[in-house]
């Protein structure tokens, strides 16, 4: 059985993962409208992945005798001034998610819930990959600068970024 404190924290993480999915979805829609087909493809895939992260938490809470709470959808509040700004926000969001996962691990250890601690290690590893992916993409964007040809190539490369193992995408 999950403690009340841990169940509450895991349910909060469900909300964070759901919000992450919505953020990627909003970014995908923006990129698609702007003609960034590759970035849109990447973002749509990431949105799906974040939803899978949320579902994994829902199933875990329910399997442990708790009650997973499905949160309201929150409209993402994003700065769409440029794709660089978008990816910077993405990186900052992934850092936020990592801190949240680390706090969950801390609570699991405080509660001496080693099953949940073990379960959360997948998320810890996943967040290392998510942050590294966002950082790599930002580095590439900085290299491109204002070069339109570079942007075209970057967008084209983003179409296959997930399939190249760019972020270690793993589904549930």
Residues marked as binding?
17, 50, 53, 94, 127
Residue corresponding to tokens 């809470």: 61
Give the separation between CA 48 and CA 94, rounded to whole angstroms: 15
8 A C-beta contact, residue 104 and residue 118: no
The two tokens of residue 59 are: 């199933």
Give the separation between CA 96 and CA 131, rounded to whole angstroms: 10
Give the separation between CA 66 and CA 57, rounded to whole angstroms: 11
Residue numbers belonging to the annotated binding site for Fe cation = 17, 50, 53, 94, 127
Dihedral sign for Cα atoms in the order 115, 169, 86, 23? negative
**Closest C-alpha among 45, 134, 60, 70 to residue 104:** 60
CB neighbour list of residue 135: distance below 8 Å, 6 or more residues apart: 91
Give the distance, in angstroms, between the CA of residue 147 and the centroid of all CA atoms in the same chain. Answer: 28
């Amino acid at each position: 059985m999950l403690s009340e404190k841990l169940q509450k924290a895991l349910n909060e993480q469900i909300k964070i993962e759901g919000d992450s999915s919505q953020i990627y979805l909003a970014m995908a829609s923006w990129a698609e409208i702007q003609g960034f087909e590759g970035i849109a493809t990447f973002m749509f895939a990431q949105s799906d992945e974040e939803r899978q992260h949320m579902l994994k938490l829902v199933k875990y809470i329910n399997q442990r005798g708790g009650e997973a709470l499905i949160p309201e959808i929150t409209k993402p509040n994003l700065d769409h001034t440029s794709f660089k700004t978008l990816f910077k926000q993405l990186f900052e969001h992934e850092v936020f998610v990592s801190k949240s996962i680390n706090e969950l691990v801390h609570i699991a250890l405080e509660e001496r819930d080693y099953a949940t601690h073990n379960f959360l290690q997948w998320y810890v590893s996943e967040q290392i990959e998510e942050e590294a992916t966002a950082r790599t993409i930002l580095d590439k964007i900085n290299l491109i600068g204002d070069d339109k040809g570079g942007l075209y190539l970057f967008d084209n490369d983003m179409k296959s970024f997930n399939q190249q193992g760019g972020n270690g995408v793993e589904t549930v």
